[in-house]
Amino acid sequence: MCGIVGYIGQRKAYPILIEGLKRLEYRGYDSAGIALLAENAFEVHKEAGKVADLENIIPQKEHLQTIGIAHTRWATHGQPTSKNAHPHYSTSKDIVVVHNGIIENFMPLKRSLIEQGYTFQSDTDTEVIVNLIEKESKKGQVSFEESVNKALQQLHGAYALAVLSKKEPEKLIVARKGSPLAIGLGKEYSEFFVASDAIPIVEYTQDLIYLNDNEVAVLERGKKVEVKDIYGKSKMYKVKHIELDNNMVTKGEYEHFMLKEIFEQPDTLSNTIFSHLSEKEDTIYFEGLDELKKQLSEAKRILIIACGTSWHSGLIGEYLIEELARVPVEVEYASEFRYRNPIVRKDDIVLAISQSGETADTLAAMRYSKAQGATTFAICNVYGSSMAREADFVAYTYAGVEIGVASTKAFTAQVAVLSLLAIAMGQENDVLDVKTAKKLMKELREIPKLVAKTLEKDTEIEQLAKDFLDVTSFLYLGRGVNFPLALEGALKLKEISYIHAEGYPAAEMKHGPIAMIDEKLPTLIVGTNEAFYEKIVSNAQEVKARKGTIISIVNEGDKQLSELSDYVMTVPKVADELQPIVGAIPLHLF
Ligand code: BG6
C-alpha cells in the first residue's frame, strides 16, 4: 500500500502535499517524495524513511509552486531507497508520476521500452508507466491526456496515479484501477486536491469525487472536472459531500495515531453497538435486516473473506455465528480466495470484512462472489467505500477514521457487529434461547464501560512491556474464540514492534511449537474463557515445565492461571463470546 497526494490551484502546493503525506503515512512509511512544477521545470525531492526524513533534505525556502504531486511508499518492487521512492521521471524528464498499486506486466513492458531506448533509474514497476506515457506522447499530435490513456490501456494490475507533464503544465491527470483515489473540489473548480483517501483533503474541502476503476480525470484550474474512461468516453460522476471533521484526522494530545485510536475504543464501541442495538429494548438493527435475515436463514453457508486484522475478526465471526446461529461458516484470506478458483454458490452469503472497504484482494474476492450469483454483505468502516457501494447489504462499524497502520478500533468494532449479527441470526433461526440472547445484548451494552476500565491499565502494561524489549520472539496462545485473538495479538507485535510472534491454538502447541519453549521464548496466554479454563491452565503447566516465561491475560479475581504466570494483565469478566473485545485492549497496549 502507498499513499498519493496531489494539488493544483492558487495556493502554494508544498505545505499541502507534505501535510497530506503525513496524514497518509499509515499507507506507507519506508520512503517518500515530492515533485513541484512551475515555469516549465520540475523540482523533485525523494528520500528513504519517513516523511519527516524527506522534509529534512528539502531546502528550507519558500516553495512558490502551485502544482505538485507527492507519495509515501511501502515497497513492493525494489527496496525502500531514495532511488526507488516516487515520483518517477520519464526518460526525457518531461513527465513525472506517483503511483499506488502493482503493475503485473511491468517486466515485458520494461524490456520492450529498454529495447526502444528508454532508460530506467529505479527497480520499480512504476517507471514503466511514465515511460509508456512518454512513448505514446511521441506518436504524432497526441495530447497529454491521450498519451496517458494509451499507456493505461497497456497495463495489467492496479493503479491510482497522478501525472504531470512539462509540456502541458496546467494539467494534473489522475486515474484509478483497483487502488483508491479521491479528488477534492475547490470553490468553482478553482483548485483541486487529490489523495488516496479523504483524510488529507477534508481540511480544505468536503466535496469529493471518488473515481471508479478505469476512470481518468483531467484537473485544470477553473475548468469543470471531466471524467472519462481510459478509451476517452465521458463518464458521469457524483460529487459527494462528506461529513469529516478535521479534528478526527489529527493526533490531538496523543503521540501516535495508533495510541489515540486505542483510547477511542470506548466511544467507537459505543457508537457501533448502539447504532445496531437499541439502548433499552432487545432489538438489533441492520440496514435491510428483514431481507438479510431471510437470506441468512436460507443460506447453506456463509463465506467470510478478509485480509489482515479483518481476517482475524472474521475467524471470531466464524466461532460466533456457528455457536449462536448454527450456520456453517468458512473463513478465507481474500488474497488466496481470489486466485484459487473457489467454489461459490448462489445460495452462499459472502461476508466481506474490511475497515477501509478498499483492500484490493477483499474487493476482488467480493466482486468474484457477486459474479457467481452469491449474496454479498460487507462489514465496512468507511462510508461510501467501494465495498460498501457494491455489496448487496452493508453493516457499518462506526469506528471513525482509522489512520494508524495497525487496525485497532476497527477490529473491536467489527467483532461487536459480528456478535450482534450472530445473535440476530440465532434468534431468526430459533436456535438461540431468549435468555442467552438477552444476556449477551445486556453485556454488549456494558462493553464500552468495561473497555474504558481496561484502558486504565495503560501504565501498568507499559511497565510490563519494558521487561520484554530485548526479546526477539513470542508465542501467543488462546482457545476457542480467543484463538483468533491470539493471532491478532501476535500480528500487532510483529507489525508494530518488529518482534517475531506466532499465534497458535493452545491445544495445538503440543504438536510442534512446544519444542521451542525455553526461558528465552515468552508465551502470552489469553486465558479468560470459562469454557476451557482448566485446559488452558494445563497448557500453562506445559510451558512452565519447560521453564518458559508466561504473561497471561486473565479475568479479574483469577487465581490458578495467575499463580502459574510470571506476569498478569487483568480484564473484566464478560461472556466467553464477547471476550475478544475486552481482551484486545491489553494486547493493543502491550
Ligand atoms: C493491512 C493493515 O495492510 O490491511 C491491517 O496493516 C489491515 O491492519 C489490513 O487489517 C486489511 O485492511 P482492511 O481495510 O481491508 O480491513
- Which pLDDT score is estimated for 531? 86
Check pocket membership of 307 for ligand 1, CB cut-off 6 A.
Answer: yes
Out of 26, 72, 196, 310, give the residue to mutate to test ligand 1, the one with the largest number of ligand atoms within 8 Å of its CB. 310
- Which pLDDT score is estimated for 205? 94
Ligand 1 centre distance from Cα of residue 135 (Å):
36
Ligand 1 centre distance from Cα of residue 353 (Å):
10
Ligand 1 atom, smallest distance to 356 CA: 14
Ligand 1 centre distance from Cα of residue 442 (Å):
30
- Which pLDDT score is estimated for 295? 80
Ligand 1 atom, smallest distance to 362 CA: 15
Mean residue pLDDT of the chain comes to 93
Check pocket membership of 354 for ligand 1, CB cut-off 6 A.
Answer: yes
CA-nearest residue for atom 4, ligand 1, is 308
What would the pLDDT profile of 109-150 be if each residue is shown by its tens digit? Answer: 999 999 999 999 999 999 999 999 999 999 988 999 999 999
416, three cell numbers: 461487536
pLDDT band (50, 70, 90) for residue 391: very high
Check pocket membership of 397 for ligand 1, CB cut-off 6 A.
Answer: no
> Per-residue pLDDT for 417 more than 80?
yes
Q: What is the DSSP string of 485-516?
A: HHHHHHHHIIIII--EEEEEEGGGGGGTGGGG
Average pLDDT over residues 54-78: 91
State the Cα–Cα distance between residues 130 and 132, nearest whole angstrom: 5
Average pLDDT over residues 386-397: 92
What would the pLDDT profile of 551-584 be if each residue is shown by its tens digit? Answer: 999 999 999 999 999 999 999 999 999 999 999 9
> Per-residue pLDDT for 504 more than 80?
yes
Average pLDDT over residues 12-34: 91
CA-nearest residue for atom 1, ligand 1, is 308
Check pocket membership of 313 for ligand 1, CB cut-off 6 A.
Answer: no
**Amino acid identity at 187:** K
Average pLDDT over residues 282-293: 79
- Which pLDDT score is estimated for 49? 92
Check pocket membership of 408 for ligand 1, CB cut-off 6 A.
Answer: no
- Which pLDDT score is estimated for 366? 97
Out of 335, 387, 407, give the residue to mutate to test ligand 1, the one with the largest number of ligand atoms within 8 Å of its CB. 407
- Which pLDDT score is estimated for 582? 97
What would the pLDDT profile of 446-477 be if each residue is shown by its tens digit? Answer: 999 999 999 999 999 999 999 999 999 999 99
State the Cα–Cα distance between residues 90 and 131, nearest whole angstrom: 5
State the Cα–Cα distance between residues 266 and 260, nearest whole angstrom: 12
- Which pLDDT score is estimated for 415? 98
pTM for this predicted structure: 0.81
- Are 99 and 159 within 8 A, CB to CB? yes
- Which pLDDT score is estimated for 269? 95
Ligand 1 atom, smallest distance to 407 CA: 8
CA distances from 548 to 264, 301, 459, 474, 519 (A): 34, 41, 25, 11, 5
Q: Nearest Cα to 131, choosing from 160, 97, 91, 163?
A: 91
Check pocket membership of 362 for ligand 1, CB cut-off 6 A.
Answer: yes
What would the pLDDT profile of 203-258 be if each residue is shown by its tens digit? Answer: 899 999 999 999 999 999 999 999 999 999 999 998 988 877 777 777 888 888 89
What would the pLDDT profile of 327-347 be if each residue is shown by its tens digit? Answer: 999 999 999 999 999 999 998
What would the pLDDT profile of 80-120 be if each residue is shown by its tens digit? Answer: 899 999 999 999 999 999 999 999 999 999 999 999 999 99
Check pocket membership of 575 for ligand 1, CB cut-off 6 A.
Answer: no
Check pocket membership of 262 for ligand 1, CB cut-off 6 A.
Answer: no
Going across the sheet that includes 567-571, the strands are: 500-505, 473-478, 523-526, 550-555, 567-571
- Which pLDDT score is estimated for 241? 87
**How many CB atoms are closer than 10 A to CB 205?**
18
